[in-house]
Structure 1
């Protein structure tokens, strides 16, 4: 993968290095359990080891990579139990978000959410990365309606950690319900908390065996991509 080189140790370098490596970790461009070659990565990004090491340490604290003292940094594992736990946390978090959004959102915010839902990408039955990002933004917009920045921060963190699994999951479906966001936005506009919670739980909660199947597909995708040098 060709990437533009970053100005070495520029004021914005550390932030850009962090964002770039975070995306690589989210997409499992570091194989699970594989040691990250810091020298090669620094050369690839066109930066020195200092901002690289700062970014990696930050990503360790956020559970995007792991570190073994004396051995270095490693790609995070694709663990079914961890992903299942994150889905459970996300479901509970979104329930709280929905309740507050129904109470606190302005009519203008709710109208804007439905407008955004209608702009969802429709190509490839929603299987594209763009469609996933649209889905993540839809839920973040609801979180912002709570007018509590902590809900937004927590949801962003969970979304990032399950981003790859959700992308694989979307691609496994033959067809997605492209009207789901519109329907949900309309329920929010009615401020029908019970209906919103019921609709949300059907979409967000995932059984453990479903996640195991998705992870099997994801692991195959990781190694197939690596073998072909994509």
Structure 2
């Protein structure tokens, strides 16, 4: 078999995916300048596709670009996290309202089956990454019921930019025993969706998201403590 070199778009896509993960997980520290030469060597890429991938992440809000200085990791601040939660609430409430108007009963039943499958595991899990995947899984599936791919795209962007702080927040919530309450909020939203009670459902969704939004300062403090904690194996 003759091996072929990946097309440029394949290379950019691979770099984009890896860099997006690194940015979302704050492997680059907040407001840190990125060393393009070091990144190119680490990722086995030339500067041209690397820069294209970096520019995509700037457009999506994962990185910043400063003329004459280069690419920087996005800042991490309570105000920024507050704004992301506010955007998330707006997107998800709009999607929920559309889902109540448009979604077939069978599609809503599929969301209910997902919650039934994951609720027990969510209550038992101590892994913040696993908790976040299950939590996002519910919200992403609910958003998809609206049948509007623009909602899906916008929610994916916000989720990616807020994911690290949310994982730290969920870790703290698990330690305090508040995670079970979070899943019960999903059950409440689902019940109102099934009842097609748009006003009450949107109010419940907004309250569910804004409860964590109002803890943005503490969530960012915990995130900074985690980002700057001594890493295993570090000198």
Deviates more, 1:78-87 or 1:14-23: 78-87
**Residue segments in structure 2 that go unaligned for 5+ positions in a row:** none
Q: Give 1:118's match in structure 2, choosing from 109, 116, 119.
A: 116
Instruction: Work out whether residues 118 and 182 of structure 1, in 8 Å CA contact, stay in contact via their aligned partners in 2.
Output: no
Cα-Cα RMSD: 2.2
TM-score of the two chains, using structure 2 as the length reference: 0.86
Between the aligned partners of 1:41 and 1:86, the Cα distance in structure 2 is 28
Between the aligned partners of 1:51 and 1:151, the Cα distance in structure 2 is 29
Q: Give 2:199's match in structure 1, choosing from 189, 194, 200.
A: 194
Between the aligned partners of 2:200 and 2:230, the Cα distance in structure 1 is 41
Distance 1:156 1:209, change over 3 A: closer
SS of the aligned residue for 1:147 comes to coil
Task: Say whether residues 1:135 and 2:140 are aligned partners.
Answer: no
Instruction: Work out whether residues 22 and 59 of structure 1, in 8 Å CA contact, stay in contact via their aligned partners in 2.
Output: yes
Q: How does 1:31-180 map to 2 (within 5 A)?
A: 31-120=29-118, 121-122=121-122, 125=125, 127-173=127-173, 174-175=176-177, 176-177=179-180, 178-180=183-185
Give, in angstroms, the shift of residue 180 of structure 1: 3.4
Distance 1:208 1:200, change over 3 A: closer
Give, in angstroms, the shift of residue 80 of structure 1: 1.3
SS of the aligned residue for 1:74 comes to strand
Distance 1:209 1:227, change over 3 A: farther
TM-score of the two chains, using structure 1 as the length reference: 0.88
**Residue segments in structure 1 that go unaligned for 5+ positions in a row:** 1-6
Instruction: Work out whether residues 86 and 210 of structure 2, in 8 Å CA contact, stay in contact via their aligned partners in 1.
Output: yes
Give, in angstroms, the shift of residue 125 of structure 1: 4.0
Task: Say whether residues 1:221 and 2:219 are aligned partners.
Answer: no
Between the aligned partners of 1:194 and 1:218, the Cα distance in structure 2 is 34
